[in-house]
Amino acid sequence: MSERRTPLLEGDCGPLSGWMGPQPVAVGQRDQAVLPDLFFLRHCPSEWNQAHWYQGQSDPPLSESGISEAKCLAEELASVLNFRFTLVSSPLARARMTAAIIASRVKASVVIDERLMELGYGMWEGHSQEAVKRLWPAMLRQWKRAPDCVVFPGGESLHELQARVKSFLADVVQTQGPVLAVTHDGVIRVAALEALGLPLSAYRKIRTTTGSLVAFVRRGSGITVAARHASTSHARSDLGEAAYDAAHEASDV
């Protein structure tokens, strides 16, 4: 039976041009209309994504198809990002290359922030899920059932990732103007959990795809989820439920 997911990242919301138009997004108890001003973009695919290997803090570059997708995404973003914004990126090549392609198209500079790095999977990195199942079967079962209790050998725990994400969010809510952060699956999941007020144990209920965006609204000292929008080339509806689950069993694949 498929795991139930939070509606935040469920389904396809259509092309980017329909995602960030001039209309405001209603959030908050009084339904005050405000525009999203914090956007998290998951990097375009690397060869490791396409091979379904755990990447973590290993540093494969974008694949050729990933570069092409980043260029298409930059064109889509250029048509809607018609305002000044801060472009921030993880230092890992797959995110940094995605950000650089966008930056060259929209005439922006990129600020590198190490807090946006992916969850460190340690010894799992470079392995497929089948290999992980052979080498660390008990830990893989725990990762699926209680992800907040796992510390990856030679890597991190979700609590360590959460500390990085919280630190980034504490700074970004004070930044003037909209912010676009190019980052990774794990970072976006934890940011979404923070915005939704959900615990780390709900980590696996949040899903992202490469090249997809999540929009947040900065409110006071925190953030609220506005919407999730994905490029039509990454629509979950094109995959089907079973194929989607099979392709996304590993967190950053």
Those residues whose C-beta lies under 8 Å from the C-beta of residue 118, and which sit 6 or more positions away, are 55, 56, 57, 90, 92, 183, 184, 185, 186, 187, 252
**Tokens matching residue 178:** 């909209």
- How many angstroms from the chain centroid is the CA of residue 135? 27
Determine the Cα–Cα distance for residues 215 and 223; give it in Å rounded to an integer. Answer: 10
Residues in the chain: 253
Helical H segments across 81-220, by residue range: 93-106, 129-135, 137-145, 158-172, 185-196
Active-site annotation holds for 43 = yes
Unique residue bearing structure tokens 């005439």: 107
Could you tell me the CA-to-CA distances from 234 to 12, 41, 91 in Å, in that order? 8, 13, 24
**Catalytic: which of 43, 229, 234, 248?**
43
- How many angstroms from the chain centroid is the CA of residue 109? 20
**Tokens matching residue 86:** 């801060």
Active-site annotation holds for 127 = no
- The two counts, helices (H) then strands (E), for the chain are 8, 8
**Catalytic: which of 127, 159, 184, 229?**
184
Q: Provide the 8-state DSSP code for 158.
A: H
Q: Give the residue numbers annotated as catalytic, written as ranges.
A: 43, 184
